[in-house]
Structure 1
């Protein structure tokens, strides 16, 4: 590991990982073993990649918040500590071939994954506008960087301590209208992604969302991150966010049924939706 630092309410770790850096594409994530070699914490933790640089042969930066013993252990790591990373994992963001107008919507540290995407879009001469939000000012991630690289950056907080008071979706419609957006990309909690998708559907523009489902393995084995997604053929399937995502077309995700197996999903038992753990 190279460095660890605080970024407002979050922690940022930079790790020397040339193999991951070389193959990385915006939207990929990594899984990290936590607790050390003698730990009882067997499951790994998955994190989106915030930044990749060529320093030291290739470095990867992760941004996270402390939620439990695993991330608490990770926050206590220091320079020269060794971390066990697997990646890059998942399917990256699809990127338009031609220059288009793009709105990137991020909530709290979910915004981290959008910055390498912004760099890629800007390299393709796309217009990029940000909408960033959080519960409070210290939980809005990346506002200064967004202002440096984007045409416009609109901020919102639930407590009104930074930008406009409210949700990111309270301002999204006006940003889409003002920028004549062609597509929306978003990352954050599932309820925020559901609301962002609803706004994009009203404007009849595509929306790509990152599903923040719990991923215990990150490679499709444990089945903890399944969610119902409608396929190109109109059939709902229970897919794994880690290998079939984490990026999905928002209008294809059945947000209202996340946490259940809908009765009409392929292979579902009869008798209505069943809850999954």
Structure 2
């Protein structure tokens, strides 16, 4: 979890715009902008003061401008009543926002070659990361994908800020037909990539992790799990993650993540509590010369 405490703000909407198939809202939130680190997200109250929609909606931060009054832009797709309400906001409306939340992407100490892999709206948090990496002298290459051309987020911007930007679509309407992981090995080879950063659906992250492991390079993944509170209380976003000690624990994506080391995430067990996870029924502790069965916590 980030060591920077989040703040709650009543933030005026600056702009609401359409970006490809997505909506983007920019709010004035200087307290969040000055604390933000790439990979963190915000929690936004929806429906207004008297709404029955009690839970906040979590959104990755796409762009921050601390020097322009402290603005924060987030991206979303209309999927239900909450996001439909957000899409109807206009300039000067007020949004109740909490942030920045979550564990950010770790940045390399020295300049290295980085490939950033994003699927759909999952590409959004990779753009502030790209700027942070460039400031450290790193080479940045993008691999962006989507179901169709309209679902590939901001490919033009990616080409402007990175050395290369490779695009894939499921239907072949833009770039290479296929998935981002189909072209990732070629990009790693051509760019001599030292590290992979990825954000998108869990199947994409699993495959990207497999590619990175074949090349023997580290991968940092930002998981897209459904969150209800954003503060670690509700436990709705837990995923099985292997710790440094080799023991699997149910990690909360909102506070222990959303960024994890890719090889530590047990992708095939997401949505379950593995039998060997700490606290699971029948879990046996290792150490002390004997196994000690622990009851479920």
User: Smaller-chain TM-score range?
Assistant: over 0.9
The structure number with the bigger radius of gyration is 2
Alignment partner of 1:89 out of 91, 98, 101: 101
Structure 2 unaligned blocks of 5 or more: 1-12, 284-297
Aligned with 1:261 (options 270, 273, 290): 273
Cα distance, 1:56 vs structure 2 = 4.5
CA contact (8 A) 2:146 2:169 kept: yes
Inter-partner Cα distance in structure 1 for 2:154 and 2:137 = 21
RMSD across aligned positions (CA): 0.9
Q: Aligned to 2:280, what secondary structure does the other structure show?
A: coil
Show structure 1 runs of 4+ deviating over 3 A. Answer: none
With structure 1 as the length reference, what TM-score do the two structures score?
A: 0.96
Provide Cα deviations, 1:145-199, integer angstroms capped at 9, x if missing partner.
1101111110000000000000000000110111111000000111111111111
Instruction: Tell whether 2:180 aligns with 1:168.
Output: yes
Pick aligned residue for 2:252 from 222, 240, 244: 240
Q: Is the deviation greater in 246-255 or in 36-45?
A: 36-45
Measure, in 1, the Cα distance between the counterparts of 2:137 and 2:67.
26
Question: Structure 1 unaligned runs (5+)?
Answer: 272-277
- Paired residue for 1:216, among 228, 231, 240? 228
Distance 1:128 1:56, change over 3 A: closer
Aligned residues: 271
1:63 and 1:193 map into 2 onto residues whose CA distance is 20
- Aligned counterpart for 2:150 among listed residues 127, 133, 138: 138
Following TM superposition, by how much is the alpha carbon of 1:55 offset from its aligned partner in structure 2, in angstroms? 5.0
1:84 match: secondary structure = strand
Which residue in the other structure is 1:47 paired with?
59
Higher share of residues assigned helix: 1
Q: What do the CA deviations read for 1:48-101 (whole angstroms, capped 9, x no partner)?
A: 100001355200000111111111111111111100100000010000010000
Q: Which among 102, 105, 113 is matched to residue 117 of structure 2?
A: 105
SS in 2 for 1:46: strand
Measure the CA separation in 1 of the matches of 2:39 and 2:164: 22
Asked if residue 23 in structure 1 is aligned to residue 35 in structure 2, the reply is: yes
Which of the numbers 197, 200, 208 marks the counterpart of 1:196? 208
- TM-score normalized by the length of structure 2: 0.90
Name the SS for the 1:187 alignment partner. strand
Q: 2:236 aligns to what SS in structure 1?
A: coil
The CA deviation string for residues 121-154 of structure 1, in whole angstroms up to 9 with x for no partner, is 0011101000000000001002011101111110
Distance, in Å, in 1 between the alignment partners of 2:131 and 2:19 is 20
**Alpha-carbon distance between aligned partners in 1 of 2:224 and 2:163, rounded to the nearest angstrom:** 27
Q: Does the aligned pair in 1 maintain the 2:63–2:73 contact within 8 Å?
A: yes
Q: In 2, distance between residues paired with 1:31 and 1:153?
A: 30
Tell me whether 1:32 sits opposite 2:44 in the alignment.
Answer: yes
**Is 2:166 the partner of 1:159?**
no
